[in-house]
Amino acid sequence: MSIIAGSYERFIWGFKLKPTKHDADNQTLTLSPLFSYPSHISPITTVACSGPAAASGGSDDTIHLYDLPSASSLGSLLDHNHAASITALSFYTPSSLSFPRNLISAAADGSVAIFDTDPFVLLKSFRPHKKAVNDLAIHPSGKLALAVYRDEFFAMLNLVRGKRSFCCRLGHEASLVKFDPSGERFFMVVSNKVGVHQSEDAKLLLELENPSRKRILCASPGESGTLFTGGEDRAITAWDTNSGKLAYSIEDAHPARIKGIVVLTRNDSDGSLEDPYLIGSASSDGIIRVWDVRMAAKENTKPLAETNTKSRLTCLAGSALKSMRRPQIGKQQAQKVDEGHENSE
């Protein structure tokens, strides 16, 4: 189980979650460092992780790739035709696989790039909209994606054809968009509110409002309609998106605003809860924590693991998938990377 985080200081941080104590009444975990170094030449804006592969994007217009099992860098991808900050990254991993099939990136100039991951090669780059992408979400089918833009637009993208299939103005700027695991619904965050929409026609089913009225900065869908959010109120909030009610909340989960949240494990298919239901969170003061959210109902909930990077964290990603395959960059893409390095010297 791995976690990666990016920082304003250009550092990428990688950790492996290891058990240190496990008995009938208590479990503790340790975030063991994998790597930490300035992989970008400007702040890291987004990270993604699936199985053994991880990626980071920055305001230096590049995407860097990492092999988590070997704790090594694979180099960078020169992807977008229009040089611009990378604003969103997302792996597509079919439910039957433990290795991602595609990496999708979005940038501040509105461009979107689709990569194959075995090896990493650029398949297609297109520009469905001319303004900056705030966030992008891939449908579980891998055939389409949703994007929200800085200029208050919302778009549906056909990833098979590499074209925009729908676009409209929302009337307000959405900062985040996420599909639920089934793909039947999606969640769109605007300031301190979450809209729950039907995927088929984007119909608004219900709206959730943060009780603190403070901005939501990150979100991660869980199982059975649960959505976890974090933000300026420093709390981790779990929403029941089926009923529209707040399920529970970990107040003061961090001493500073929460910039990243990720669901690390899910219940077994038979409903077994032998393994804890884990989520990771990161705050702007550099602290990363891992929680068993089943303990959230208890007072003074304490994290199972914690580490302090002492940096200004901007984003967080994680993966519980295990795979024997190792990520690698394709020869053609590697040549482009080498040419890019030569041109920059």
Give the pairing type, strands 287-292 and 305-308: antiparallel
Query: How far is it, in rounded angstroms, from Cα 179 to Cα 95?
Result: 14
- Helix, strand or coil for residue 341? helix
Query: How far is it, in rounded angstroms, from Cα 265 to Cα 273?
Result: 11
* Interval 72-114: pLDDT, tens: 898 888 655 557 899 999 999 988 877 889 999 999 999 999 9
Query: How far is it, in rounded angstroms, from Cα 30 to Cα 16?
Result: 8
User: What band does 339 get if pLDDT is binned at 50, 70 and 90?
Assistant: very low
Is it the case that residue 26 has pLDDT exceeding 70? no
* Interval 130-183: pLDDT, tens: 899 999 999 999 999 999 999 999 999 999 999 999 999 999 999 999 999 999
For residue 317, the model assigns a pLDDT of: 96
Burial 312-330 (b: 16+ CB within 10 A, else e): bbbbbbbbbbebeebbbbb
Is it the case that residue 269 has pLDDT exceeding 50? no
Asked if 189 and 214 touch (Cβ cutoff 8 Å), the reply is no
Burial 55-92 (b: 16+ CB within 10 A, else e): bbbbbbbbbbbbebbeeeebbbbbbbeeebbbbbbbbb
Instruction: Look at the block and give the residue holding tokens 């991660």.
Output: 220
Q: What is the mean pLDDT of residues 242-246?
A: 93
- 293 phi/psi in degrees, rounded to 5: -70, -10
User: What band does 268 get if pLDDT is binned at 50, 70 and 90?
Assistant: very low
Residues 6+ apart with CB under 8 A from 300: none
DSSP at 254: S
Query: How far is it, in rounded angstroms, from Cα 234 to Cα 217?
Result: 10
Task: Please tell me whether the overall predicted TM-score, pTM, comes out greater than 0.75 for this model.
Answer: yes
Q: How many CB atoms lie within 10 A of CB 273?
A: 9
Among the listed ranges 173-182, 221-230, 298-307, which one has the minimum average pLDDT value?
298-307
Is it the case that residue 12 has pLDDT exceeding 90? yes
